[in-house]
Every structure is written in structure tokens, then in C-alpha cells.
Homo-oligomer: A and B are copies of this chain.
């Protein structure tokens, strides 16, 4: 099942996407829904951010090659436990919307292609065996980062949460084969990163079971699972496409503020 959040002139709502047709539902996948019989052509609606999360979680260092690269010279070690970070909803944008890079950002603006877990049910005290039972489905995130701010600031507030720095979408797939997934990132059509999506330091079940020892997950919460490898510096006009097997492709263009 493929959930899409979209708008067609009015307020955003949810629908089921089959091929290129959307059937609108009343309600939403988190609190109950019913088919309406109303259909829309995918190419005629605006795709919206698939969910505005109550809490926006992000696993930081969760793939070995990324840790080696980011940690070079900065004393980062391979984590021994799955500590969870946070991102902020102000930064979310949908499929096709522009990533606006502030005029005072440095040249070190980079992508991070990530698998996103969308929580469907309230959950606490999950075990690794039953952890995935709270998951509604999966989508794609691009954890855009300004690397010099990331190094100079005490937190990630501006390096990772500047408005438009968190593209997410295009939709949520409920039936996936995690072990068959490959993440690929292309810049202007050229493949620049690829890795096995589920080749994580700590897997999804381990993260969710560890987190829910202490905290309650709620319907609509999202957990971004981290990235592998490195990104080139992105410049004005670049088209960034993050693809994950079975989930489609998340496409956004880089626009540098103040460039004519």
C-alpha cells in the first residue's frame, strides 16, 4: 500500500496511490480512514510532505563509511550504542520543492540520502522481535547539511535545520523488503553515492527497541536512519535525486539565496 499526502487547491489530505492514480481517503493512516471514491491523477496534484511528525528523530552515525569520513581528524569513534538525535519540522519540504541555501552559507552544502521510518502506532517497551509492529511504512529523506556550520556551532540548529534543509517523500510505502533496498543518490543525473540501505551499524529494530525503553513513540513520528558515504559540495541549480528500491525517488533542486 502506498500512502500519499497531497493537495489539489485546498487543504492537504491523504490518498492511496496506485500507479499514477490517487484515491482520496477521509481521515488519515494514523487515526483511521475510509476510501472516498474520488480519484486524482498524480501529475495534477501537489505532492505534500508525507507527514508532519509530532517528533522528528534522526540516527546520526549509523553507517561505517560515513563515520570514517565525518570523523577524520575530529575524534569521532564508531558508536557503541544507538543514541538518537533530533531534527525540526520547520525544515521539511516536499517532493519537487527547492532547497534554499542561505546567502551566508559556505560552499560545503551536502546531501545525506536516508531511509525514513514512519511510526503508525503508539509504542513503548518494544523488543527487537516486535519492534517493527509499530511501523506504518517507509519513505525517503535528504538530511541536507552545511558542514562548516556543523563543525563550528554547538548544535545542529542551523547546519541541518535551516528552512528547506529536510526534503522528505515522495510518499510512504507500507510493504517493503528492507534487505533488498539500495540507496542511490544522483546529482544532475550522475550517480554520486550508493549503498545497501539496510547495512546499518544499528538496525531499525535495535533503534526502536532501545528508544522505547525510555520514550513513547506516537503515530506520525518519524525516524531518519542515517546515511553512508560522502557527498560532493552542491551548487546553485544542482538537481539532487535520492532513490531507494521500492520507495521511488525524492527530487529537489538547490537554489542559492541571492543568486539571480
Contact = CB atoms under 8 A, between A and B. Distances in A.
A199 interface: no
B90 A163 contact: no
A123 to B, nearest CB: 11
Interface residues of A, number: 34
Interface stretch (A24-32, A78-86, A186-194): A78-86
Nearest to A54: B89
Contact of A215 (B54, B57, B162, B217): B162
Interface in A204-249: 211, 213-218
A91 interface: yes
B215 A55 contact: no
A140 to B, nearest CB: 22
Contacts of A61: 154
Question: Which 7 pairs show the lowest CB-CB distances between chains A and B?
Answer: A83-B154, A84-B157, A86-B86, A162-B214, A55-B88, A83-B155, A158-B214
A91 B54 CA distance: 12
A12 B241 CA distance: 42
A71 interface: no
A216 B54 contact: no
Interface string A88-105: 111100000000001000
Contacts of A91: 215
Given A55-B88, A163-B214, 7 more contacts: A52-B54, A57-B88, A83-B155, A83-B158, A85-B155, A91-B215, A102-B214
A83 to B, nearest CB: 4
Interface of A: 52, 54-55, 57, 60-61, 79, 81, 83-91, 102, 124, 153-155, 157-158, 161-163, 211, 213-218
Contact of A86 (B60, B88, B154, B162): B88
B211 A157 contact: yes
A90 B155 contact: no
Contacts of A89: 54-55
A83 B156 CA distance: 8
A190 B88 CA distance: 38
Contacts of A52: 54
Given A52-B54, A88-B86, A89-B55, A60 B154 contact: yes
User: Which of A52, A57, A214 gathers the greatest number of chain B CB atoms within 10 Å?
Assistant: A214
Contacts of A83: 153-155, 157-158
